[in-house]
Amino acid sequence: MSLDYKQEFADLLAENRLEDARILLEKYKIFALDDPFYYGNMGWLLNHMERYQEAEIYLLKGIHQFGEDGWMHSQLGFCYDRQGRIKEGMEELLTALELGFDEAWIHGEIGWCFKEAHEYEQAVNCFEDALLDDPNNTWLLAQAASCYLSLDKKEQALEYYLKSYQLDPDSDACFDLANYYHQKEDYEREIQYLEKIHEKEHEPWKEFQIANAYISLHRAKDALEHLKKAEAAGKDDTSLHALMGDAYRLLDDMEHANAHYDRALSYYEKAIHREKEHYWIYQEMIWIAHKQRDWKKKLAFLKRAEKEKKDDMWLMYHFARCYSDLGDYEHAENACEFCLSHGEQGMDMFDLYAWNLGRDGKERKAIEVLAKRLKRFGADGWAYGELGWNYLQLQEYEKALEYFVKARKKEPKNAMHPSMSGWCHYQLDELEDAICDFTTAMQLGRKDGWIFASMAEVLAKADRKEEAIQYYEQALAQEYGEDWIPEEVAKLKKEEVAVS
């Protein structure tokens, strides 16, 4: 009878009738008293049914009775791994090897444990050991490729991904290659592999990933087309609506963008009530508010997140940016000082700190910070321009001009630099040089009220009244809100009449 039920069990497995096989085992439980077959196969079966906690119970009972059974130890290791208990899983898998149960998949599973622990060198060694015995195992190839990719060994990763795909071009292999090309920033080829996936159950994720690739290509209309397909296929979550917001934002349609961003935020609010860990949710909400350029909303999210994780570096960085965007320079400076004193010594932080100091009337300190920034990271147009701006506020026009000239050499197409050098020339009574620089700024695309009004001031001082009046009128047409301009125009017209 025992042999008959074992054969029947094998036949049910061959037909993939897992639940019927489980019922059969329960029916012949009596044979468990002197045979590890029941406990081992029940554990194996429940593992394959992804009922890991139940599998654990049977396997522990079996090991208690048949402690030298390496196969059961290997199944318990697999069971622990799938429950996230990687250390315990590793111990059981190694025990299985010590007991002589040495199969390729066990080396692969140990590799998976190392991979989960981000120990990619050890992981790939295990996967390679397993591939020596099972060279055409697509799971092993894909796992090894993933580790090679994490180790930045892209050629080896691609070789293994392609071999896995050639052996079995299923959806997993297509997703793996799509992810590889996404990381390589080859979005066109990523899309090609995603479009090879035709299973209905993968449609929502496939269409979403295609849309994400199109966003990376700045093809927002194509992205929206695929996002709508993903939504029609049943995807309705934070990631979908956040990406829809990104697509509409690329199209400068902030009304639709904000509608989707707000919907994503409403889903995150519900997640806060559901999830135990809230910090990562707040991070996503903060980033969405940042993309909406709603600084007050962003600040509110930052303050909520701070209750979960005070003095976190990522939070303090965004506090600094947010306060800066709100024009709250003192709070921005405090956040910058926290970041700088706690190891955030990147160029962006020095720039943000210097910018806020300059706008807060602390030009000397801003200049000190910029000097450190130049020494550490080198010069660029922005830094030179900012130094010039600070010296300009201090009315040290020659020094300011020196830095604006350097900025122009670094960024010859930036209209801001000749605008500022022109203003310095004007303050130094170098009128022709000022006119030349303002003209250059306008040729580079600056057409706002300030540049027209500044040019008019210079022309008026150079006694070129008619041209000055024309530029003042252009400034007024730009709704440049300076009350003194109409009075100046009237005065110049009166002087012209008097001369004529």
The CA-based angle 404-483-386, given to 5 degrees, is 15
Residue 121's pLDDT is 96
Whole-number Å distance between alpha carbons of 436 and 450: 16
* Residue 500, helix vs strand vs coil: coil
The token pair that represents 461 in the structure block: 């001082």
For residue 34, the model assigns a pLDDT of: 76
Please tell me the pTM assigned to this model.
0.81
Cα distance between residue 254 and residue 170, in whole Å:
39
CA–CA separation, 165 vs 177, rounded Å? 8
What radius of gyration do the chain's Cα atoms show? 34
Looking at residue 32, what is its pLDDT?
65
Angle between helices 484-499 and 465-477 (to 10 degrees): 150
| Burial tier of 465 (Cβ tally within 10 Å: 0-12, 13-18, 19+) | middle
Q: Give me the pLDDT at residue 467, please.
A: 95
User: Residue 499: its pLDDT value, please?
Assistant: 64
Q: Is 189 helix (H, G, I), strand (E, B) or coil?
A: helix
* Whole-number Å distance between alpha carbons of 298 and 288: 8
Distance CA 331, CA 151 (A): 40
Nearest-10 Cα torsion for 78, 79, 80, 84: 90
Q: What is the pLDDT of residue 3?
A: 57
Per-10-residue mean pLDDT, the chain, length 500: 74 89 84 80 92 94 92 94 93 94 93 94 96 95 96 96 97 97 97 97 97 98 98 97 98 98 97 93 97 98 95 95 98 97 93 98 98 95 97 98 97 97 97 97 96 96 93 90 86 77
CA 105 to each of CA 117, 164, 354, 471: distance values in angstroms, whole numbers, following the listed order: 18, 16, 57, 79
Q: What stretch of H or E contains 308? A: helix 295-308
pLDDT of residue 1: 44
Q: Is 248 exposed, middle or buried (0-12, 13-18, 19+ CB in 10 A)?
A: buried
Q: What is the dihedral of CA 406, 407, 413, 416, to 10 degrees?
A: -130
The distance between the two most distant Cα atoms of the chain, rounded to a whole number of Å, is 125
**How far is it, in rounded angstroms, from Cα 237 to Cα 240?**
5
